[in-house]
Structure 1
Amino acid sequence: MSTSIDSPETAEETTPLQLDVQVSSPQACVRDVVVTVPESEVQRYLKDAYDELVPEAQVPGFRSGRAPRRLVEKQFKDRVVEQVKGKLLMDSLAQVTDNQEFSAISEPDFDYNSIPEPGDGPFSFQFSIEVRPEFETPQWKGLALTKPVEKVDDEAVTQALDRVLKDRATFEATDEPSEIGDRLLVTITFKEGDAVLSTLEEESITLADALSLADGVCEQFGKDVAGKKEGDTVSTPVKLGQTDDESDADRKIVAEVKIEEVQKLESIEIDSELLEELGDFESETELREFIKESLTRQAEYRTQQAVRKTVTDLLAESVNFELPADLVRRQTNRELQRRVLEMRRNGFDETTIRGIVNALQQNAKASTESALREHFVLEQIAEEESLDAEPQEFEQEVMLIAQQSGESERKVRARLEKTGQMDALRNQIVERKVVELVVENAKVTEEEVASDAQDEANKSFPVSHSVLAKKDHSAIPEAKYEDNSVTEKTEQAKD
């Protein structure tokens, strides 16, 4: 099992280690590093450790701190050697990452237990580390951009209000055939031939044209299921999204849909009780104003995303670097976290977010590669222009997420910190500031566009289910080397 060791922060100055460091570049974003600590430095660390231990060592037959040094060294050798091994590793890693020209984007990854203990002779180990790709910053001033601007009118507010009411309306079971917009209770068995791949048990869904899944989509779902009644079973094809195995695209998978219950929407009225339930609104007018503000933020988000894509596409045209497959795979969850944070901040409901996440997962490799390229380009511009996230900007983001989720800001911040998403939040803030800077220095033409975002959302209903058994992609990469001691082959290569 691989182990990542963080470089420590020490309050007092330490004498720099004399190191021999060999760096190779097997891929654009990866460095293989071989570190050798000469014997003289190993002995210095061992001596310092014993010097600190001897005055306090408790050895049977001697008063505390009075035992001969040779006896102390013999009795406490194993403990001291293990302590020195850890200190040599941490100090040398800190020195390597500080002094090397590459910019690390992950912690050094290696198997700690496979590295030999220090003793006579030099102390050597090797590791791989992911680094930011090296490229010339593209020319970003004076770009010609088209900025789409959505108009939020009364009709859009009415449609959104209808969706809010529908979420809280009463659905009554019926023997009538199902129609688009009905709520169904279904059990879906996903099969390849006679083999059962997975089952979705008694899931409540809204019947839409398509059913979106975490790793695929039933594009004919509405066509095949509409008109069926309680107790009916119908089959509909499943189209898998992008997977690591290209042959998955040719697999013939069907979803056997058993309709457990059909429910029809009952009418619902806006009264004081409903207004209070929705957010303690005083009137329907106040509720509509709140919805309009939320729709406006969503429209602004789509505009920002469109402008961001235009900007990053133009910038990416002039840079070219490879992205390791392992890096892309591990960054998929981080990219999904970033998108979810953005959407929650901008007032999207959880069903819409689930649908977008499903779409991203179905094309995870391509979308993550694109996001990584964007990040590296924007981050480099941010460094050159001294742009970073300020404390008040974190607070603003947390406040917006809290407003949309109905949670306290304290609870939102605690959750983000616990799940390690504050870094994703920082990237989100910085990248937005870079895009804004590029736009400020660009030639921008605004173009009013009609929004079909809600129409598209209504065409598909998302569920959180994977047709195929999920593969375990650990957030921490496996060690490149089974044994992180420096092999004879590596030593020969150095020579």
Structure 2
Amino acid sequence: MEDMQVTVEDISTVKKTLRVEIPREEVVREIDRAYDEVRRTARVKGFRPGKTPRSVLERMFKKEIHEDVTARLLERSFIDAVRERDLRVVGRPRFDAPALDPGAPLVYAATVEVAPPIGEVPFRGLRLKRPRYRVSEAEVEAHLRGLQKRLARLEPLSAPRPAAEGDVLRIDFEGFQDGRPCPDAPRNENFTLKLGGGRVLPAFEAGLTGMQAGESREFPVAFPADYENRQLAGREITFRVTLREIRSEILPPIDDELARRVGPYTTLDELRAKIVAQLEEGYRKRIEQELQEQAFRQLLDRVPFEVPEALVEAELEGILEEAERSFQARNTTLEEAGLSRETIAATYRETAVRQVKRHLLLGRIIEQEKLELPPGKLEEAMQEIAGRLQQPVSVVQTYYRENPEKLEALRHALLEKEAAERIIQSGEIEDVDPPAEEAAGGPSAA
């Protein structure tokens, strides 16, 4: 936009206020153009199309035309101002503009957030400690016992006896408070749980322990103040329970037959080898993640910078959407779990800030090192995605071809991975034994 005046006020390294002055002549031209457009299309009684006098149009459409002209001038001039001052704007601008005056320049302010200036990132030579995680026989046995429990069968008791830990119970129950039914703990029939399974509060399990099939019992349960169901948190509810059935869990032997039932294995040794391979892969990913966390902590100490709030909010929104999808997959909602978007946002805000800083640092390293994807890397990633989704690769390719912004996001994510690998490869790595408690808690081999 010609003859436009732009000044920039620094509020912080990531927040600026642009003060823009659009010449009166440009304002007048835009208003005249708007009235010409309206004259061509307006249907005004008593006048032929295109012949309505300007004074009549002003009387009828002045407010709407001025609002439309202001919006157009703001949009065009803001884009030009950002380009002129070479600002990397993130998020939406906040405009402060007066009412349009045809006899004066249009002067307005636009407050924006921008990507932080990040200088050269000294990422080479970081001192990193790589833990030597090793798969133990105890881990393999633990996973085999987990598979054994998954294949257990439930059988009625051969002789009456009290309910004990490990039994699977079928119960009817209802909660009461002050002698009246509690709507927050309504009647539930044929509810199944395993004693010692941790599915319910320990006090509820304790009340069930020792009951006989057919017996009814009443006992209080005090819910902790931080209980996930906010309607029950901090309250004491009396439960009336009838034990309908006790069944015992019969575990199959850990042998070749179990391996054949689990998957495409003919022997227990084949299953063990698969578990070991999965555990080793889990440790490989864990080591990679821990090295990256060490590296980014050091880099953020070396290269401090501010973070735009708009990027933090966008990252938080992604975390919230993922949480909602997770609850929907379990046929429940945040509210039913006693949570809200606000509480999750407060809990994960620092996580979002760290993630934004990580993306910004990696983006700067990509620019600094002029990184490009190796040939075929994008196609390889699409094949991996197709495999996870169990879809033909052509379907994935079509999706990205029709959604160029998603394709660019995938390309950038792959470049970030390349940058992260370069950081680790250029570091000074010392192999160390992990603390005993960490070494004992291995990754999942599900």
What TM-score, normalized to structure 2?
0.63
Residue 9 (structure 2) aligned to one of 16, 23, 38: 23
Structure 1 Cα separation of the partners of residues 63 and 71 of structure 2: 13
Written as runs of structure 1 = structure 2, the 5 A alignment for 1:46-65 is 46-55=31-40, 58-65=43-50
Question: In the alignment, what sits opposite 2:369?
Answer: 385
Question: Cα deviations across residues 384-443 of structure 1 (Å, max 9, x unaligned)?
Answer: 22347799656655654665566777589979x99x988876665343222111122222
Cα offset for 1:306? 0.3
| Cα distance in 2 between the residues matched to 1:362 and 1:321 | 22
Say yes or no: does 1:441 pair with 2:420. no
- Cα gap change, 1:402/1:60 in structure 2, threshold over 3 Å: closer, same or farther? same
Match of 1:235 in 2: 222
2:293 maps to 1:309:
yes
| 8 A contact 1:24–1:32 mirrored in 2 | yes
Give secondary structure in 2 for the equivalent of 1:130.
Answer: strand
Residues 316 and 435 of structure 1: CA distance in aligned 2, closer, same or farther (over 3 Å):
same
Residue of structure 2 in register with 1:7 after alignment: none
Aligned mates of 1:443, 1:187 — CA distance in 2? 61
Specify every segment of 5 or more residues in structure 1 that has no aligned partner in the other structure, as ranges: 1-14, 190-195, 212-217, 242-251, 344-348, 355-359, 459-495
User: What residue number does 1:375 align with?
Assistant: 359
Which position in structure 2 is the counterpart of 1:249? none
Q: CA offsets, 1:19-43, max 9 Å, x none?
A: 4344331x44333444443322222
What whole-Å deviation, never above 9, does each CA across 1:94-146 have from its counterpart, x for those lacking one? 223333354323222469xx864564433344443332233433311122222
Are the structure 2 counterparts of residues 90 and 297 from structure 1 closer, same or farther at C-alpha, using a change threshold of 3 Å? Answer: farther
Q: In structure 2, how many angstroms separate the alpha carbons of the residues matched to 1:22 and 1:453?
A: 54
Select which of 432, 441, 449 maps to 2:417. Answer: 432
Q: 1:128 aligns with which of 86, 111, 115?
A: 111
SS in 2 for 1:46: helix
CA deviation after TM superposition for structure 1 residue 307, in Å:
0.8
Decide whether the 8 Å contact of 1:188 with 1:255 is kept in 2: no
> C-alpha deviations, 1:312-354, integer Å up to 9, x for none?
011111233455778656633435779999x9xxxxx99xxx9
User: Cα gap change, 1:402/1:428 in structure 2, threshold over 3 Å: closer, same or farther?
Assistant: same
Alignment partner of 1:445: what SS?
Answer: strand
- The 1:161/1:433 distance shift into structure 2, 3 A limit, reads farther
1:287-324, Cα deviation, whole Å (9 max, x unpaired): 66665554444323211210111110111112334557
Per-residue deviation, 1:362:
8.6
- Separation (CA, whole Å) in 2 of partners of 1:413 and 1:255: 57
Q: 1:340 to 1:237 in 2, by over 3 A?
A: closer
Whether the aligned pair in 1 keeps the contact of 2:154 and 2:250 (CA below 8 Å) is yes
Q: Sequence identity, in percent? A: 21
- Is residue 225–residue 234 contact of structure 1 (8 Å, CA) maintained in 2? yes
Confirm or deny that 1:106 pairs with 2:85.
no
Which residue is equivalent to 1:476? none
Q: Which moved more, 1:310-319 or 1:46-55?
A: 46-55
Deviation at 1:84, TM superposition (A): 1.9
Alpha-carbon distance in 2 for matches of 1:39, 1:105: 30
1:84 paired to 2:84: no
Q: Which has the larger displacement, 370-379 or 330-339? A: 330-339
Task: Tell me the TM-score normalised to structure 1 length.
Answer: 0.58
Mapped partners of 1:390, 1:265: distance in 2? 54
CA contact (8 A) 1:338 1:428 kept: no
Structure 1 residues 421 and 159, CA, compared in 2 at 3 Å: closer, same or farther?
Answer: farther
Q: 1:269 to 1:129 in 2, by over 3 A?
A: farther
Matching of residue 318 in structure 1 with residue 297 in structure 2: no
Structure 1 stretch displaced more, 119-128 or 82-91: 119-128
What's the counterpart of residue 176 of structure 1? Answer: 163
Q: Per-residue deviation at 1:47?
A: 2.6
Matched to 1:138, the amino acid is V
For the structure 1 residues 362 and 90, does the alpha-carbon distance in structure 2 shift closer, same or farther, using more than 3 Å as the test? closer
State the SS of the aligned residue for 1:146: strand
Are 1:137 and 1:377, in contact at CA under 8 Å, matched by a contact in 2? Answer: no
Contact kept in structure 1, 2:20 and 2:107, CA below 8 Å: yes
